[in-house]
């Protein structure tokens, strides 16, 4: 059984040497309320790229943290990557659009992958971090909230794989900055992918005819 390893909440603050305010620095809490716009008390400072109904909750996975601990040669605490929820017992790279997570009364649905940015690089203190994170193909998952409620740290998590076409977060991340094959876009559009990307793919496909 998968498990909610950590619940992480951030306040708006400055990272040393980095000017913009950010909520990426998160601390563990025992429990938190989740609604359709995200986690109560969690700061979202850049709403152009973060937050909103289709990116309400960011999930990262314990097996991916283990990969980074092995790669970097040091332990990395849950929440370091700015995720709201850290989940163990699920293989992060194989999580796909449309997969669902049930945690107590809360139901989440995967909508997209995380794209690394300079804020993330500043958080990690590594100017090469954006490229390193992208190459690793372990992005974690953004989720929309289908059923709100309160989650408790240590709670069991039920992972419900999407029954339709499997478009993994790793597969999507690998296509960042690339020309996307029309057949892939058609396959992705059969999933509950985030609306921003749905519009992009539909517009691109329409222009081909």
Please state the three-class secondary structure of 1-56 as a single string.
CEEEEEEEEECCEECCCCCCEECCCEEEECEEEEECCEECCCCCCCCCCCCCHHHC
| 176 dihedral zone (left: phi>0; alpha: psi -120 to 50; beta) | beta
Residue 149 lies in domain: 2-176
- Is residue 49 predicted with pLDDT exceeding 80? no
In a domain, 207, yes or no: no
Mean pLDDT (whole number) for 59-75? 97
Cβ neighbours for 194, distance < 8 A, ≥ 6 positions apart: 54, 55, 111, 112, 142, 144
Band of pLDDT at residue 185, cut at 50, 70 and 90: very high
Q: Summarize pLDDT for 136-169 with one digit per residue, the tens.
A: 999 999 999 999 999 999 999 999 999 999 999 9
Band of pLDDT at residue 17, cut at 50, 70 and 90: confident
**Of residues 171, 34, 38, the one with CA closest to residue 99:** 171
- Is residue 43 predicted with pLDDT exceeding 90? no
In a domain, 200, yes or no: no
In a domain, 122, yes or no: yes
Dist CA 32 CA 100 (whole Å): 19
- CB 160, CB 40: distance < 8 Å: no
Band of pLDDT at residue 51, cut at 50, 70 and 90: confident
Query: Residue 119: its pLDDT value, please?
Result: 94
Q: What is the CATH number of the domain that holds 48?
A: 2.40.33.20
In a domain, 192, yes or no: no
Query: Residue 35: its pLDDT value, please?
Result: 96
**Average pLDDT of the chain to the nearest whole number:** 95
In a domain, 208, yes or no: no
Query: Residue 125: its pLDDT value, please?
Result: 93
Regarding beta strands 2-10 and 85-88, do their DSSP bridges make them parallel or antiparallel, or are they unpaired? antiparallel
Band of pLDDT at residue 5, cut at 50, 70 and 90: very high
Q: Give the DSSP letter string of 135-155.
A: HHT---EEEEEEE-EEEETT-
Which residue's structure tokens are 């985030």? Answer: 194
Dist CA 93 CA 29 (whole Å): 26
Cβ neighbours for 134, distance < 8 A, ≥ 6 positions apart: 116, 173, 176
In a domain, 94, yes or no: yes
Structure tokens given for 99: 């997969």
In a domain, 187, yes or no: no
Percent of the chain with pLDDT over 70: 100
- CB 48, CB 117: distance < 8 Å: no
H/E segment holding residue 130: helix 129-136
Number of domains, the chain: 1
In a domain, 182, yes or no: no
């Amino acid at each position: 059984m998968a498990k909610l390893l950590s619940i992480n909440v951030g306040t708006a603050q400055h990272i040393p040497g980095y000017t913009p305010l950010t909520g990426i620095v998160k601390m563990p809490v025992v429990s938190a309320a989740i609604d359709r716009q995200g986690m109560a008390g969690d700061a979202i400072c850049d709403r152009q790229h973060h937050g909103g109904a289709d990116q309400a909750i960011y999930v990262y996975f314990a097996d991916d943290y283990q990969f980074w601990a092995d790669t970097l040669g040091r332990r990395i605490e849950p929440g370091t990557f700015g995720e709201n929820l850290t989940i163990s017992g699920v293989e992060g790279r194989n999580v796909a659009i449309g997969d669902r997570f049930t945690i107590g009364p809360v139901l989440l649905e995967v909508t997209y992958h995380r794209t690394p940015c300079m804020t993330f690089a500043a958080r990690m203190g590594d100017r090469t971090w954006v490229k390193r994170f992208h190459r690793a193909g372990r992005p974690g998952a953004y989720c929309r909230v289908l059923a709100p409620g309160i989650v408790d740290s240590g709670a069991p998590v039920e992972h419900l794989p999407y029954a339709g076409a499997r478009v993994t977060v790793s597969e999507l991340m690998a296509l960042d900055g690339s020309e996307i094959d029309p057949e892939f876009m058609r396959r992705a559009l059969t999933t509950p992918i985030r609306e921003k990307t749905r519009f992009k793919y539909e517009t691109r496909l329409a222009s081909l005819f």
